[in-house]
A and B are shown apart, each in its own frame.
Chain A
């Protein structure tokens, strides 16, 4: 269908992948365009995210009640959700330092431990109260999934935590942590990209960040222009998707075959 582009012999499109290729190029284009724009200083404004604003409220409540804030960056190692969890930990550490509440961070993956310690330390330093940083606020519990859950449950019950923040990649142990937090009467904010755990968070927590909301909250917390640009680029692609949906649906119902054939190539 197209003469040879890169000197290879005739390149034809695999069956009905033409418009998929067009969409692929467009989505990549939107993301790159917005990232470059953000690099040149045009930082996109991101709307308020309910769960994100509730974090400050939760830390304030914990300070009033004189009970600790528990934070878990999830059970994942170096995946996107864990990075978002650590960015939000930075935000929480700054607020905890400013309010003077005490913080307990429970860790499952050994590789995440040093990063989390560094994040909490810099949080206290940037709030100007570095001497208030308590080294054993960041605790490695266990690498085994359910041993980590059992250890964390014990801490939450003993310390009667006032706020339970679970932001990162979670598996089946999510329900154990959420139920213990609920029993302790803590205000619970959870966020994960693992969709099959979202139902257990929704029914037990006050606020839930679902999938992309966790990444958007992480980007807002980190104020990293590249990430904010990437989110704006993804939004452009979503407008493109909605446009395709409307145009294609209208074309199909009014028999405008030209559009329908193009979209199905």
Chain B
């Protein structure tokens, strides 16, 4: 049986959340609130650490330009001031702009072009199957086909849907292993680290 306070708190919290499987209860919702609080506190601490490293220190070190992101960042908090919420639009716009500016070219380069280039392989049974499957799955998501055109691509879209279902089957199989591993992790924590009744 473990004697460390941290392990005991973790064990009680684990049992509280697992009790949701029995039925929703007060013990569960108390520890859910504790979990939500801990997550928010951790984000706040990590946020402050990075503001100090990437903004405050350079600002003190003389880089006056570093004041701009600090002002934009502070504008996020106008959401909590009634009537001033529209000022939070500017940091949101900046983050969205940077997000899209990073994401869109990568989508064109890595997700679009590199994946197409990777399909230019010498034809074997597998590579041809891959090429045909890719085309059929793309056709499945082709929406503006006229009735006449749709008749031609109807059967390829059936094949595309079947290939997609096999992919979702693989995703399903891996998801089951993932969730099982999490449950196994918690059970072995309770039996081994907390109760110590396992080898």
Contacts and interface: CB of A to CB of B under 8 A. Distances in A.
Are chains A and B touching directly in their complex (CB below 8 angstroms)?
yes
Interface of A: 17, 19-21, 23-24, 27, 44-47, 49, 144, 146-147, 150, 195-196, 198-200, 202-203, 210-213, 216, 231-232, 235, 238, 241-242, 244-246, 248-249, 251-253, 260, 263-264
Interface string B111-153: 0111011011111000000010011001101111110001000
Contact of B171 (A196, A241, A242): A196
Contact of A235 (B120, B142, B164): B142
Given A198-B171, A238-B141, A249-B120, 5 more contacts: A24-B104, A46-B144, A150-B24, A238-B138, A245-B131
Contacts of A196: 171, 175
Given A144-B36, A242-B135, A23 B144 contact: no
Contacts of A248: 116-117, 119-120
Please list the 10 inter-chain residue pairs (A to B) with the smallest Cβ-Cβ separation, ordered nearest first.
A24-B108, A199-B172, A20-B109, A252-B120, A20-B113, A248-B120, A199-B168, A232-B144, A44-B144, A150-B24
A21 B108 contact: yes
A124 B73 CA distance: 42
Contacts of B113: 19-20, 23
Contacts of B119: 245, 248-249
Interface residues of B, number: 38
Nearest to B175: A196
Nearest to A238: B138
A216 B145 CA distance: 13
B128 to A, nearest CB: 9
B105 interface: yes
Interface of B: 20, 24, 29, 32, 36, 104-105, 108-109, 112-114, 116-117, 119-123, 131, 134-135, 138-139, 141-146, 150, 164-165, 168-169, 171-172, 175
Nearest to A49: B143
A253 B144 contact: no
Contact of B105 (A24, A199, A244): A24
Contacts, number: 105
Most buried by A among B24, B108, B164: B108
Nearest to B146: A45
B143 A231 contact: yes
21 contacts: A17-B109, A20-B109, A20-B113, A24-B104, A24-B109, A27-B108, A146-B20, A146-B32, A147-B29, A150-B20, A199-B175, A212-B143, A232-B143, A235-B142, A238-B139, A241-B116, A242-B138, A242-B139, A248-B116, A249-B123, A252-B122
